[in-house]
Structures are given as structure tokens and as C-alpha cells.
């Protein structure tokens, strides 16, 4: 996991789920490791004025299926790569 540890001010992208829409936000508090979370945890405040998400663990940022939280730069790079693949396939199918 290349962007760890995350620090206060790091921009985050939340992918959303069935009950919550996607959003961008930033880390506003970093908790040190404790008996509940050996890797520390983070509070995230969203740009769309919804409530904060509290005590997100580093595992929530781990790459894999169903990943919900991304450092914004990493999300943008992944999205750009996926869009390039999509348009390459589309162009091949249009010809």
C-alpha cells in the first residue's frame, strides 16, 4: 500500500454503496494505533456536508474487490487508466 500512512489533509474518494452516494473528502483526524485498531484509524469529512465517517481503518484503503476508500490521486489515476481502456475498446468496436 503505497500511500500509507495517510496524514491530515489527504484528499479521499469514497466510492459509495447501495445506501450512500460517492463523495470526495479529506482526512481531518488521525488516531494512533490502539487496542481497537493496531494500524491506527482516520476521520473523514466530506465536501458535500454529510456527516463525517469516523475511525476508518487502513484496511478500508487496501486494494481489492469492494474497496470503498481511495486516496484521491490514486483513484484519479485508476479511473483515467480504465477510461483509456474503455475508449480503446469502443474505437475498435466502432470500426
Average pLDDT over residues 82-90: 88
Question: Is residue 3 included in any domain, yes or no?
Answer: no
As for how many domains the chain has, the answer is 1
Question: Is residue 78 included in any domain, yes or no?
Answer: yes
* pLDDT of 26: 96
Which domain does 83 fall in, by range?
11-94
β-sheet with 41-46: strand ranges across: 53-56, 41-46, 23-31, 11-14, 69-71
Question: Is residue 50 included in any domain, yes or no?
Answer: yes
Tell me: the pLDDT tens digits for 25-79? 999 999 998 887 778 899 999 998 888 899 998 889 988 888 999 999 999 999 9
Q: Which residue in 31, 34, 35 sits closest to 5, CA to CA? A: 31
What residues have CB less than 8 Å from 44, skipping those under 6 apart? Answer: 12, 14, 25, 26, 27, 28, 52, 53, 56, 69
Amino acid at each position: 500500500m503505497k500511500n500509507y500512512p495517510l496524514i491530515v489533509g489527504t484528499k479521499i474518494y469514497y466510492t459509495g454503496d447501495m445506501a450512500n452516494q460517492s463523495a470526495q473528502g479529506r482526512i481531518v483526524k488521525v488516531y494512533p494505533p490502539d487496542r481497537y485498531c493496531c494500524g491506527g484509524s482516520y476521520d473523514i469529512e466530506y465536501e458535500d456536508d454529510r456527516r463525517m465517517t469516523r475511525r476508518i481503518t487502513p484496511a478500508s484503503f487496501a486494494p481489492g474487490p469492494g474497496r470503498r476508500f481511495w486516496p484521491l490521486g490514486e483513484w484519479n489515476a485508476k479511473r483515467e487508466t480504465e477510461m483509456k481502456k474503455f475508449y480503446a475498446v469502443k474505437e475498435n468496436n466502432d470500426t
